[in-house]
Amino acid sequence: MNEGNALKRYVGVKETILYGVANGGQVIGYNMIRAQLTFFLVTVFGVPARAVTAMITVMGFWDAFNDPLMGGIVDKTRSRYGKLRPYLLIVPIPLGITTVLFFGGAEFLKGVESTTLKIVYMCITYFIWEFIYTIGDIPFWGLSAAISPNPVDRSRVIKSARFISGIIGGLPGIIITVCIDLSRNNIIPFTLSQVFLFLAVIGGTFGMFLFSLSGLCTKERIVQVNNDPKLLDCFKLLFKNKYLLLIVLSNILGTVGGIGGTFSTYFYTLSLGIASLSLVAGIPGTISGWVSYGLLSNLEQRFTSKQLIFGCSLSNALIGIITFLAGMNSYTNPKIIVPIIAVQGVFTSFIGSINAVVPTKMIADTVDYMEWKTGERSEGMSFSLLTFVGKLTGSLSTAIATAIIPLIGLQEVGQDMVLSSAGGINTKFWMWALITVIPPVASLISLIPYAFYDLTGDKLKNIQLELMQRREKSINANTLEKAEEV
Amino acid sequence: MKSECPKCGKKLSIFYFKPKCPQCGCELAYYDMDKMLEEDAKKAEAEFAKLDAFIDKMTPKFIKKKMKKDMSDSK
């Protein structure tokens, strides 16, 4: 195969955009659950915070089993639609229904006083939602590695997915925050439980319609060599992939980086007084995040993935320290704090967009590495680890944050979170530290595994070029076979 | 999504998920893969050419001039 063929683009503009739109639809429900899980369950549904923490922790452990199992099943799947697309064609419908069931709980069980019943409902609906989400999520990201033999195509579809899902998936967060304020101040005649149900219906219908496009409008373009892989062999492949394991380890070490989100809602409500201020502070960051996607191709040409990861983490920590110091004497004054957070958001969103694309692209690289090393592709197992670690770290960070809540002087009173009357702890100061400096500095530890990661630069290029030559030979062999048949 | 076997033309239900054609046994997902890739590459090139033309049309002249100058400087 000459270099011209190696650089051929197979995924057109339409398919690239539709893959991104599908991800946007997929994450509407996911973002609602990730961003509002604790708030919805504790404040709206009336489930005790301890029960929520316990459920999240147990689900995290369940994912450790569920995700790789699902990844193995995906890798074992062979169908006329490919190995990933069948799931993307089926999953949107049940996922939409379970999203409505989960967020509709507070409305469906209105008037029910039994806390036990609420906990049971919460656990069942969350478990089913999580299970079905996994069945859709692993094939979706696996498809980014199988959509084209050209790494540039893959990078482009990942960027499209992250960019478009950032826009579409960000909408529920904005709408919910506004609706919370409007509902609490009786400006709209709906209770919080009705607001959540309404948004779940939108996410479960419109969102899932968009998600179904990933199965309907895409193609798998890489031939899966083994026609009958064993489930156990799929698992074994995982442990042969040292680069994938390094990425996973890094993600786990970076768990604390995600705790800021939980405290953000409480900081705006309790320290600054208005939850919607987070929207104002977030506007410049949103724009810089979009700009970042546009500049990422240039950055990818100048730097390796590893260099980008190091640069992003170090910059993020530095920005966190500067922000914390800039606001440490005025963290209750919205006029000073909102602009400071907005400036921080410009940098962190820029970095966040890079972090959203590069590690995913690196996982696709590790799938190529496994094909080069063993002849087998493991999109399912590899991306199941990505989704598992994403959920595990998300769950762990939520659990850590929920455990920190009483330690910094926050107290649950009825269905509201309030500042504890017990003295000695400067709760507002701790909340400021927890949304600015502690997460990015603590997550610097996640860089250690990357020090051992060398699947970059010429080594990676040579592997991918060799794979393309192998695939072309395989296709030529098939063509000859076909000609002989004729 | 094709509803028939690409080799023997047997009609297949959209709910038929098995990888091989029930009549001729050909691999439904990978049959004529080379041809499919060629077609996709042509289609993708055409779409990107359209997109490039659109971006070129929308880009202000002073930016184009600067880009040309940067390119000639780098050469």
B-chain residues near A217 (CB < 8 A): none
Provide φ and ψ at A168, rounded to 5°. -65, -45
Q: State what percent of residues in chain A have pLDDT above 70.
A: 95
Assigned domain for B17 exists:
yes
pLDDT digit string, tens, across residues A262-302 = 888 888 888 888 877 887 888 888 889 889 988 888 898 88
Q: Are A372 and A256 in contact (CB under 8 A)?
A: no
Of A12, A227, A479, which has the smallest distance from its Cβ to B34's Cβ? A479
Q: Which of residues 4-43 of A touch B (CB under 8 A)?
A: 8-15
* Domain interval for residue B14: 1-31
Place of tokens 């690289």: A365
- Ordered by start, the domain boundaries in chain A are 10-218+227-468
Closest-CA distance of chain B to residue A263, Å: 42
Q: Which of residues 225-244 of A touch B (CB under 8 A)?
A: 227
- Under an 8 A CB cutoff, do B40 and A10 touch? yes
pLDDT digit string, tens, across residues A111-147 = 888 889 999 999 999 999 989 998 999 999 999 999 9
Torsional class of A303: left (φ above 0), alpha (ψ -120 to 50), beta (otherwise) = beta
Place of tokens 């390119």: B71
Closest-CA distance of chain B to residue A220, Å: 9
Q: Are A40 and A196 in contact (CB under 8 A)?
A: yes
* A330: contact with B, CB 8 A cutoff: no
Q: Which residue of B has its CA nearest to A223?
A: B30
- Is residue A3 pLDDT above 50, yes or no? no
Q: Which residues pair with A416 in a beta bridge?
A: A413
Q: At what angle do helices A13-38 and A151-168 cross, to 10 degrees?
A: 50
Closest-CA distance of chain B to residue A14, Å: 8
- Under an 8 A CB cutoff, do A479 and B19 touch? no
- Is residue A479 pLDDT above 70, yes or no? no
- Is residue B75 pLDDT above 70, yes or no? no
Q: Which two tokens stand for residue B53?
A: 């033309």
- Statement to judge: residues B27 and B51 lie in one domain: no
Average model confidence (pLDDT) across chain A: 87
Place of tokens 């201020």: A277
pLDDT digit string, tens, across residues A379-395 = 898 998 887 888 778 77
- Is residue A94 pLDDT above 90, yes or no? yes
- Is residue A401 pLDDT above 90, yes or no? no
State the pLDDT confidence band at A4, using cuts at 50, 70 and 90.
very low
| A–B interface: beta-carbon pairs under 8 A | 62
Least confident of A15-24, A357-366, A384-393: A384-393
pLDDT at A480: 59
Assigned domain for B37 exists:
no
Assigned domain for B2 exists:
yes
The contacts of residue A280 (CB under 8 Å, 6+ apart) are A338, A342
State the pLDDT confidence band at A478, using cuts at 50, 70 and 90.
low
More confident call, A41 vs A174: A41
CATH architecture for the domain at A10-218+227-468: Up-down Bundle (1.20)
CA dist., res. A161 & res. A236, Å (int): 30
- Is residue A1 pLDDT above 50, yes or no? no
State the pLDDT confidence band at A44, using cuts at 50, 70 and 90.
confident
The contacts of residue A281 (CB under 8 Å, 6+ apart) are A338, A341, A342, A345
- Burial class of residue A39 (count of CB atoms within 10 Å of its CB; 0-12, 13-18, 19+): buried
Q: Which two tokens stand for residue A385?
A: 């680890």
Provide φ and ψ at B73, rounded to 5°. -65, -40
pLDDT at A415: 60
State the pLDDT confidence band at A164, using cuts at 50, 70 and 90.
very high
Closest-CA distance of chain A to residue B46, Å: 8
State the pLDDT confidence band at A435, using cuts at 50, 70 and 90.
very high
Q: Which two tokens stand for residue A364?
A: 């696709």
- Is residue B69 pLDDT above 50, yes or no? yes
Q: Which two tokens stand for residue B45?
A: 């090139």
pLDDT at A149: 86
pLDDT at B2: 63
Assigned domain for B70 exists:
yes
- Burial class of residue A423 (count of CB atoms within 10 Å of its CB; 0-12, 13-18, 19+): exposed
Q: Which two tokens stand for residue B66?
A: 């600067």
More confident call, A3 vs A101: A101
pLDDT at A2: 41
- Under an 8 A CB cutoff, do A12 and B43 touch? yes
- The residue of B40, B42, B54, B59 whose CB has the most chain A CBs within 10 angstroms, and thus the best one to mutate to test that interface, is B40
Least confident of A125-139, A430-444, A458-472: A458-472
Neighbours of A15 (CB within 10 A): 24
State the pLDDT confidence band at A475, using cuts at 50, 70 and 90.
low
- Under an 8 A CB cutoff, do B48 and A81 touch? no
* A302: contact with B, CB 8 A cutoff: no
pLDDT digit string, tens, across residues A223-242 = 877 667 787 887 888 888 99
Provide φ and ψ at A413, rounded to 5°. -120, 115
pLDDT at A344: 93
CA dist., res. A406 & res. A300, Å (int): 43
Domain count of the fold of chain B: 2
Assigned domain for B52 exists:
yes
List C-alpha distances in Å: B16 to A132, A224, B9.
Answer: 22, 20, 15
Of A72, A63, A112, which is closest to residue A394 (Cα–Cα)? A63
Strands A410-413 and A416-419: antiparallel
- Is residue A485 pLDDT above 70, yes or no? no
pLDDT at B25: 87
* DSSP letter, residue A412: E
State the pLDDT confidence band at A250, using cuts at 50, 70 and 90.
very high
